[in-house]
Amino acid sequence: MSEVFQTTTVEQMEADTARLYENAVKVGMDVWQDRVKNQTPHCGFGEKGICCRICSMGPCRISPKAPKGICGANAATIAGRNYLRMAAGGASAHSDHGRECVWKMYDATADGYYHVTDEKKLYKLAAEWGVETEGRDLYEVAHEVAEMGLNEYGKINGFQKWTQRATEERQKVWNEQGIMPRAVDREVVTAMHMTHMGCTADAEALVRQALRTGLADGWGGSMAGTEFTDILYGTPMPKETEGNLGVLDKEMVNIVCHGHDPAVSEMIVTFSETKEMQDLARANGAKGINIVGLCCTANEIAMRHGVKMAGNFLQQENVLLTGVVEAICVDVQCIFPNIGPLSECFHTKFYTTSPIARIPYSTYLPLTSENAGEVAKEIITAACNNFKNRDESKIFIPDHKHKASVGYSCEGIKGQLDTVTNSHFDVLDTYQPLIDCVTSGVLRGAVAMVGCNNPKVRPDWSHIEIMKKLIANDVVIVATGCAAQAASKAGLLDKRSKVLCGEGLRRVCTLADIPPVLHMGSCVDISRMMLLVCGIAKDWGIETTQLPVLGCAPEWMSEKAVSIANYVVATGIDVYLGIDPLVGGSDQMMDLITNGTTEWVGAGYHINTDPDQLVEDMLNAIEAKRDALGI
């Protein structure tokens, strides 16, 4: 009898969290659930974006009684400045992560810790950028391409080279609207300068710069991150792994890799497989070494190595509360400072590796291209030797986990779709099979589910319920970041979840052997989604704004999400948000990010904090786009 497929419900995940919370109580440490209570209710001025503290005459807060700050800034100015600063913060984080990846390729050598894995992708980029390859050493080419990549961050003239990959129509719009992004650093500095006391007060100009700063990220810094990461560690292709807390293994040395930049986690994965490290684990009484990922580092190493994924953002304290983590090793972004004191309550060793993310109660091992292997070995060795220090009375591993198919890069998607007609995996350079499915109505459209999870709503609930409703209505999903992790925890990356799909999507999943939610990677990999939509628009011969494709961030929390939303909108894709964008104190700002951007770039925000209504809005929007196309 065939096995009946069942998802893991949010209720089951919450029961796991509640059981793990008992461990937090036992060790006397607070976790996010406690801190949410302490921080509630949130400051109403902050929530509406109308608190300004950018000069010491303030902080100034806007109310009916005090409609202007001391300098005369009104609600729109203050909310607009705060909004642009969030976009600039997010663009900085993504882009600097991307820059570190380019530096690793600049430093790469044939016999170093970092080397070229995807030569084809390197040569493709070299050709795109006019770098001579004939008769040259691979690393000479890699070095020159990396230098050009680094130059995109600070060049004094011209626009981002990466934008030439967009459709001609998009490039025209960006030029006409004056938002074609220049050097990444220039756009971020401009944003910070514009928002300085006494500079831009015009909300429209602030929103336009948010679009431009976002574009410098998505069609600049993030795209560099994705591209150079692929060249260094390999372009992801479909593979199988598992997700959720049940991937932790009581019999093994568990090492958790958390953050975003895969420079550290790649080394941990590589060196954990050596006989020396495996023998050390066994000598300490373990059966071996179990590397698991958290947040976007999980996405990076899952899609290249099939490493198991322990979970997303709000799962990070849960992972330590299992009591079986010998070491947690972090790089940058989305790391709770509370990991420090929480790890002290267990035997867990906590390592930070980047000068960008220095956190108290950690052992700081700054990673460089020269010492990467030594850092990895030091962490793995310490973890193995720490296995015997567990406290049995604190151990609880929830047994929920699911199979997950991951690694659907643009190349992976094209290759997999080709299996439908050619019965073998081959990367043809066309999205035509996908377009045929959409025009025929077998698929109604696609939604990019992205972003974090957030205790302002019921964590993971919006992600999972929205995804289930979309796939039931024959809408295929591409997912990144913690949205992809939510899908993984629930079982929606399991190919068997096609039973939850409408008839059309179920048929596509069967023929192409894919799950209905396609894992495209980490949050920088939303640049892949931009290439995907532009690639589909080019192959279809229509504009990106016409595609029955939408973006959705139902539980976003980070500044990076604000930057992402700006470049997705600027690329012509409407973005559906389930969390307010912190500008609600200004009707003018709300109008600018919804109607204003739609007028300038053909797409804008749609905000609804009710997930049921949000998904209905999206289904209606997809059908409206289909009607407009006459399909």
Residues that bind ligand MSK (CB under 6 A): 260, 295-296, 312-313, 334, 451-452, 481-482, 522-523, 558, 560
Site for ligand SF4 contains 197 (CB under 6 A) = yes
313 binds, among ligand MSK, ligand SF4, none (CB under 5 to 8 A by kind): ligand MSK
On the question of a cis peptide bond just before residue 341, with omega within 30 degrees of 0, the verdict is no
Look up residue 294 and give its two tokens.
Answer: 């958290």
Nearer to ligand SF4, 138 or 201 (CB): 201
As measured in angstroms, the least distance from the Cβ of 354 to ligand SF4 is 32
As measured in angstroms, the least distance from the Cβ of 587 to ligand SF4 is 18
Please state, in angstroms and as integers, the Cα–Cα distance from residue 153 to each residue in 156, 182, 243, 436, following that order.
Answer: 9, 9, 35, 39
Residues 6+ apart with CB under 8 A from 278: 272, 288, 289
Residues 47-66 that bind ligand SF4 (CB under 6 A): 52-55, 57-60
As measured in angstroms, the least distance from the Cβ of 138 to ligand SF4 is 53
Please state, in angstroms and as integers, the Cα–Cα distance from residue 380 to each residue in 18, 36, 78, 537, following that order.
Answer: 30, 34, 48, 46
Interface mask toward ligand SF4 for 449-488; x: CB under 6 A? ----------------------------------------
Nearer to ligand MSK, 451 or 515 (CB): 451
- Evaluate the CA torsion angle 127, 129, 130, 132 in order and state its sign: negative
Look up residue 232 and give its two tokens.
Answer: 């260094």
Q: Strand 349-352 to strand 363-364: parallel, antiparallel, or no bridges (unpaired)? A: parallel
Nearer to ligand MSK, 481 or 516 (CB): 481
Q: Cα 525–526–528 angle (5° rounding)? A: 70
Nearer to ligand SF4, 73 or 248 (CB): 73
Nearer to ligand MSK, 295 or 614 (CB): 295
As measured in angstroms, the least distance from the Cβ of 558 to ligand MSK is 4
As measured in angstroms, the least distance from the Cβ of 68 to ligand SF4 is 8
Site for ligand SF4 contains 194 (CB under 6 A) = no
122 binds, among ligand SF4, ligand MSK, none (CB under 5 to 8 A by kind): none
Query: Hey, what long-range contacts does 351-360 have (CB within 8 A, 24 or more apart)?
Result: 351/327, 351/379, 353/264, 353/329, 354/261, 356/96, 356/332, 357/259, 357/330, 357/331, 357/332, 357/333, 359/330, 359/335
Nearer to ligand SF4, 198 or 360 (CB): 198
280 binds, among ligand SF4, ligand MSK, none (CB under 5 to 8 A by kind): none
Beta-carbon count within 10 A of 453 CB: 27
The span of 46-54, 201-209, 222-230, 497-505 binding ligand SF4 (CB under 6 A) equals 46-54
Q: How many CA atoms lie within 13 A of 355 on its CB side?
A: 3
Nearer to ligand MSK, 329 or 384 (CB): 329
Site for ligand SF4 contains 69 (CB under 6 A) = yes
- Asked if 232 and 145 count as a contact pair (C-beta separation under 8 A), the reply is no
Nearer to ligand MSK, 479 or 536 (CB): 479
Site for ligand SF4 contains 46 (CB under 6 A) = no
Look at the block and give the residue holding tokens 């008769």. 135
- Exactly one of 36, 66, 70, 624 binds ligand SF4 (CB under 6 A); which one? 70
Helix axes 372-386, 262-272, angle to 10 degrees: 60
406: left (phi over 0), alpha (psi -120 to 50) or beta: beta
Residues in contact with ligand SF4 by CB under 6 A are: 52-55, 57-60, 69-71, 73, 78, 197
